[in-house]
């Protein structure tokens, strides 16, 4: 057993298995997830969110897999009797993107569902999450990074039922600047841009009262922050309204 304080992890994601009375903890687990080759994703299992069994290696890149660096922020979703991992990768000759992996067991091993990532070709993307709408159709919701578009964006894109490809164009839900509290960044690439803004980590939740809300993150005046947006229509396509202040 290992105490949660002794686990090296970023971008934590907890999946609840009610039938097993267990929590499963996933996240960015490489020792140096920014400046070295990606190694794997590891996971932990526990009953109290404090002490955990593991680590268990749930994904190691197979030969020929395009992603070589920045193994970031895996999420797990149970869909059509399989477990799907949505995770971010990049490579020296490839923009950052979200790829979908699949396994029959929550602890893997996870293998790529397709050869290519699911986010749009040429778009610098990260932090994809899976959302099943009120008609039971799947969508991927993801960030288009500020490093490419300056004012970070969050998009939704409809997927095929088997999650292998898009069945429609990306829909822009909102930009980072739609939240008045987000802090601007000065680009250091010689572009002269001084008002870049970050979008990170979208996650959808349907409340008991039927409201559809999205948790997401950005930089505020007091540092990195988590906030909430509300869909006024109750649908993934919005329109989305930002809360006045970040939650955390």
Do 229 and 240 meet the contact criterion of CB atoms below 8 Å apart? yes
Q: Quick check: is 106 in a domain?
A: yes
Tell me, what's the pLDDT at 201? 98
Taking 70 as the pLDDT cut, the residues of the chain under it are: 188-190, 192
Residue 147 and residue 82 share a domain: no
Q: Quick check: is 76 in a domain?
A: yes
Using CB atoms within 10 A of its CB, is residue 118 exposed (0-12), middle (13-18) or buried (19+)? buried
Residue 164 and residue 53 share a domain: no
- 69 alpha carbon, distance to own chain's centre: 16
Q: Quick check: is 59 in a domain?
A: yes
Q: Quick check: is 142 in a domain?
A: yes
Cα gap 227→155, rounded to integer Å: 17
Residue 104, phi-psi category: left (phi > 0), alpha (psi -120 to 50), beta (remainder): alpha
Cα gap 54→71, rounded to integer Å: 19
User: What one-character DSSP code corresponds to residue 120?
Assistant: P
Q: Domain of residue 156: give its range.
A: 127-248
- Residue 200 sits in a domain whose CATH number is 2.115.10.20
Q: Quick check: is 111 in a domain?
A: yes
Cα gap 244→54, rounded to integer Å: 40
Residue 131 and residue 112 share a domain: no
pTM greater than 0.75 (yes/no): yes
Tens of pLDDT, residues 216-226 = 999 999 999 99
Strand-pair category, 223-231 with 2-3: unpaired
Count of structural domains, the chain: 2
Residue 112 and residue 131 share a domain: no
Residue 164 and residue 145 share a domain: yes
User: What one-character DSSP code corresponds to residue 89?
Assistant: E
Tens of pLDDT, residues 53-107 = 999 999 999 999 999 999 999 999 999 999 999 999 999 999 999 999 999 999 9
Residue 69 and residue 108 share a domain: yes
Q: Quick check: is 122 in a domain?
A: no
């Amino acid at each position: 057993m290992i105490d949660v304080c002794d686990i090296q992890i970023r971008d934590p994601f907890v999946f609840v298995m009610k039938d097993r009375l267990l929590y499963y903890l996933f996240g960015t687990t490489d020792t140096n997830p920014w400046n070295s080759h990606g190694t794997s994703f590891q996971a932990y299992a526990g009953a109290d969110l404090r002490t955990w069994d593991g680590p268990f290696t749930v994904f190691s890149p197979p030969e020929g897999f395009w992603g070589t660096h920045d193994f970031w922020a895996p999420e797990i979703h149970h869909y059509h009797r399989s477990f799907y991992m949505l995770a971010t990768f990049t490579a020296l000759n490839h923009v950052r993107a979200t790829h979908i992996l699949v396994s029959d067991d929550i602890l893997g091993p996870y293998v790529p569902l397709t050869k290519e990532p699911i986010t749009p070709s040429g778009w610098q993307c990260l932090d994809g999450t899976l959302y099943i709408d009120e008609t039971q159709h799947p969508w991927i919701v993801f960030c288009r990074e500020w490093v490419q578009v300056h004012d970070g964006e969050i998009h939704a894109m409809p997927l095929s039922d088997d999650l292998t490809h898009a069945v429609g164009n990306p829909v822009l839900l909102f930009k980072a600047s739609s939240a008045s509290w987000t802090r601007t960044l000065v680009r250091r690439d010689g572009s002269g841009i001084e008002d870049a803004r970050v979008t990170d980590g979208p996650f959808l939740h349907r409340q008991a009262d039927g409201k559809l809300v999205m948790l997401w993150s950005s930089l505020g005046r007091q540092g990195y922050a988590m906030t909430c947006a509300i869909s006024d229509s109750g649908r993934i396509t919005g329109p989305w309204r930002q809360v006045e202040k970040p939650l955390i």
